[in-house]
Structure 1
């Protein structure tokens, strides 16, 4: 047995190979049997609503339509049951090729969207990519399926944002980019859902502002709320790059949502004045800066960023706990709320100060490049706040760090005066 053991092939490898071989051929054979013809020769569609691409017509559909439905149902069941990653990848590629056939069966297509959304939000990176390609193809070929795809993907995205750590952050970023790209497949339809979702954020925030209850504050001070806002900021920024104000109403909606989104973000970071939520304020002002940079609207992001210096001074008022200095590597991208232990850690404080310094510098550079001579009167009152912080700050390292801003502010005011003259 030992001499011939190397000839034996594990059954699972045989099964996987047979399945992949079948998938390479069965789909092509099915299309040959159905015999696609020019869609213009078919009966014109009388449907109302969003403009839909003409479905592919098949010469032998009446003969092989039932067989096609049975095959697609079997493929979908197999897709939900398979465990092997390689076989799953092969199956997803086949499903992507068969999307045109799935669209002829609305119930099958709807259940397929749920399965693909599950893979897009919970599997490995390669599986996520192929599943998203299939979802995009469904949304692109049939505009009536776009709302189902869009809502399912958004719900899955929010569900995956409950926790943010080193492992989940890359996948969340991938889902953000995917949803932003999906938005531009049918921008006019996406506007309706973007408006509703941003309005929901505003309602939750309003309830928290009125009641000031801990449970209501927790509904907005969490990763799902912040990542949801970051998604719409990304959508608006990408839309501003691709579309500029024009006569095309389907493209202008990106600019119509800038004001409500800015108001929601601005109210969010002011809701609960606690130093423990310093990272959340950094995230909020970074979102405002991104909107200001890409959509070419003025947002006082520099003034907002400088306001955080007062909170940094409050944190530095208490000396860090001895023996807990730079022993950690904090990352504000994975931080939303600081614990008491983190507030007492000198390494965390240094990271927060460096992050705030970089944010203020970015805001100032954008203001100088965008406003020119008008930047001088904006910078003048902010310089007063900076000098006040340098006097009261108890951390000498932070004083040395932010003292560099005095020169940048002075140079900005001087350049603005020269341009005005």
Structure 2
């Protein structure tokens, strides 16, 4: 063979370039391509192929199973090695061996672990039990049966035993391992513990317990199981200090159960949240305050007789939680009250029906009720007491926004809030004008043309229908409410040295109403109130004749202090009678009530350091709950959030009355609390639009209306 001739034809250069490109390829596919190229070269130019075998043996030495194509073979390739078919080129891997069969966990094994833990404090038994607890919490999940899991829980008795033992005993086991007190503690204890070797060795056990318990909480649908699980997890809430992600998830779950469930679960969920705020503090208190306010708003969009007690319970919970940290509560309350003020300001500026509707809805009014309750509950504290003035301004503006008779219930609700703020802060708020203006409206000064009508519960509505305005029942309810609220307002100052001057204008206008009204029942009611006011004026004047100080001197604050403590003034006694009458009337109007739990909604000011006295009772409850042969599985999972929201919205539509006006509670966009705006659900508008006050009519509209009246009068004369 002429080697030089072959090189002149360019074949060696082509071979070397092919060799260089093949050295860069490192995958099996490129190796197979190289084999095919050599096969084609052997067919086209056998002489050159023999030349390569003799002089460039490295070109033919490769391994398609190795990433490094420069690795040498142990033996030289033969011609037949290059003629492998496609099937021969594929690597034949042995089939994967099936893993060991999962071991069925028995009651005896669980009992042995529990015994080892209780008698010997065996750490290996704790690990095994937590693995079984993980299997129990994830039983039936998609992908729950992982290849690394060697245990399988088949019977409900094994599941119940694992759940009960872990939930009842794991908190004490973990505290023993970490050398912590048997109960209680603050977040500083965990912060200090996290720097020790003890925590590094056992923290994975704490995280496993809390993480798996959170997972099973999301799967449960039975309220008794959820209540028992949350009660037991409350003892271990201190450990969440070390796991911020888990802490946020627990807060979210507890808020969900507090706002959407029934029975005793709302109370248990609230106590869990309160325990988190007290023990962990600043790490979760902001999330809890924002979350519970948002949940409250979502649950008070609609009000009727049946929901009054439940909404009152939710309001008490929010107020109680705010008392954990009043300095932080003031910051959140300031933002939320400012948002309400901006909604009212928009209504006053734009004067449109849509803007009025955003104020005259249950969400807005229940938010005012909440902050009124908070200011009254913590009136002795300097933090929230500062909010009394802006809150009073907002409530007064809401009461005057649409001054029509249809919104008497809303105005009376605002007046009631103002009276409560005045009584708690010992501040004078001029609410008598709001009440006396109501008496001068034509709807209360004309005979009822709509018959007797049904009894009207002014607590559960914001607006009355037009036919109800003309009924006798509505007129009587309004006049009685005006008398009650006016008496409450004057009774607060019935011991003031300036009571005679303060009551002068109300007395004049009440006498004017008695002369103008044509309804004898109303005249009789007002005369009774007038007599009590006059008697109280004589009572105060008789006492102040003997004093020498002026009304603006500090000594005037202690005038009739003994009589005030004994509630001896005529107006105080009259108000006590009116309250009993109102309670009797409200009891007769309430057809049903919502029970929110088995315990009281009034909570103590301090959380107990230990709940060991209730352990026996709670353990018995857990045993009865988990002995119901319940295994969590695919069928027990809670429906997705979209379906839940749709179902809840349908229920709310059914509960809404035709007088309800519901719109989105639009909050301030320049604040950092955008999550509250995003999660407020949409409500349904009232069939009847919000009435624009007559004074808002333009000059052109008034002229047109007067022409229409004139034309109608002329047609009648004809």
TM range (shorter): 0.7 to 0.9
Distance 2:384 2:477 in 1: 34
Q: Select the structure of larger CA radius of gyration.
A: 2
Structure 1 residues 188-199: aligned runs within 5 Å = 188-199=327-338
Deviation at 1:213? 0.5
Deviation at 1:28? 2.6
Aligned partner of 2:485 in structure 1 is 359
User: Would you say 1:230 and 2:369 are equivalent positions?
Assistant: yes
State the number of aligned residues.
384
Q: Give the secondary-structure state (helix, strand or coil) at the position aligned to 1:298.
A: coil
Aligned partner of 1:43 in structure 2 is none
Aligned partner of 1:333 in structure 2 is 459
Aligned partner of 2:318 in structure 1 is 179
Contact 1:19 1:87 in 2 (8 A): no
Deviation at 1:396? 2.2
Aligned partner of 1:314 in structure 2 is 443
Contact 2:190 2:239 in 1 (8 A): no
User: Would you say 1:166 and 2:292 are equivalent positions?
Assistant: no
Aligned partner of 1:390 in structure 2 is 514
Q: Give the secondary-structure state (helix, strand or coil) at the position aligned to 1:103.
A: helix
**1:54-108 per-position Cα deviation (integer Å, ceiling 9, x unaligned):** 4363763212212321221111111111112221111111221111112210011
Distance 1:68 1:88 in 2: 20
Distance 2:272 2:532 in 1: 50
User: Would you say 1:23 and 2:167 are equivalent positions?
Assistant: yes
Scaled by the length of structure 2, what TM-score is found? 0.51
**1:198-233 per-position Cα deviation (integer Å, ceiling 9, x unaligned):** 111111111101111011011111111111111111
Assess, with a 3 A threshold, how the Cα gap between structure 1 residues 315 and 12 changes in structure 2: closer, same or farther: farther
Aligned partner of 2:420 in structure 1 is 290
Contact 2:407 2:463 in 1 (8 A): yes
Aligned partner of 1:408 in structure 2 is 532
Aligned partner of 1:42 in structure 2 is none
- CA RMSD, Structure 1 to Structure 2 (Å): 2.3
Pick one of 128, 133, 139 that aligns with 2:266.
128
Q: Give the secondary-structure state (helix, strand or coil) at the position aligned to 1:332.
A: coil
Structure holding more helix per residue: 1
User: Would you say 1:264 and 2:394 are equivalent positions?
Assistant: yes
Pick one of 52, 55, 62 that aligns with 2:190.
55
Contact 2:187 2:241 in 1 (8 A): no
Q: Give the secondary-structure state (helix, strand or coil) at the position aligned to 1:164.
A: coil
**1:116-137 per-position Cα deviation (integer Å, ceiling 9, x unaligned):** 0111112124111111111111
Contact 1:306 1:382 in 2 (8 A): yes
Assess, with a 3 A threshold, how the Cα gap between structure 1 residues 132 and 294 changes in structure 2: closer, same or farther: same
Structure 1 residues 88-107: aligned runs within 5 Å = 88-107=226-245
**1:228-279 per-position Cα deviation (integer Å, ceiling 9, x unaligned):** 1111111111111xx3xxxxxxx41222111111111111100111111101
Deviation at 1:317? 2.2
Aligned partner of 1:75 in structure 2 is 213
Q: Choose between structure 1 and 2 for higher RCO, CA contacts under 8 A separated by at least 6 residues.
A: 2
- Runs of 4+ aligned residues of structure 1 deviating over 4 Å after TM superposition are 11-18, 51-54
Aligned partner of 1:378 in structure 2 is 502
Contact 2:326 2:384 in 1 (8 A): no
Distance 1:335 1:392 in 2: 29
Contact 2:447 2:519 in 1 (8 A): no
Structure 1: 5+ residue runs without aligned partners? 1-10, 39-50, 244-250
Q: Give the secondary-structure state (helix, strand or coil) at the position aligned to 2:378.
A: helix
Q: Structure 1 stretch 192-201 or stretch 409-418: which is displaced more? A: 409-418
Distance 2:394 2:412 in 1: 15
Distance 1:316 1:113 in 2: 54
Distance 1:336 1:93 in 2: 39
Q: Structure 1 stretch 271-280 or stretch 163-172: which is displaced more? A: 163-172
Structure 2: 5+ residue runs without aligned partners? 1-154, 546-718
Contact 2:300 2:366 in 1 (8 A): yes
Contact 1:16 1:87 in 2 (8 A): no
Deviation at 1:12? 7.6
Contact 2:450 2:468 in 1 (8 A): no
Scaled by the length of structure 1, what TM-score is found? 0.85
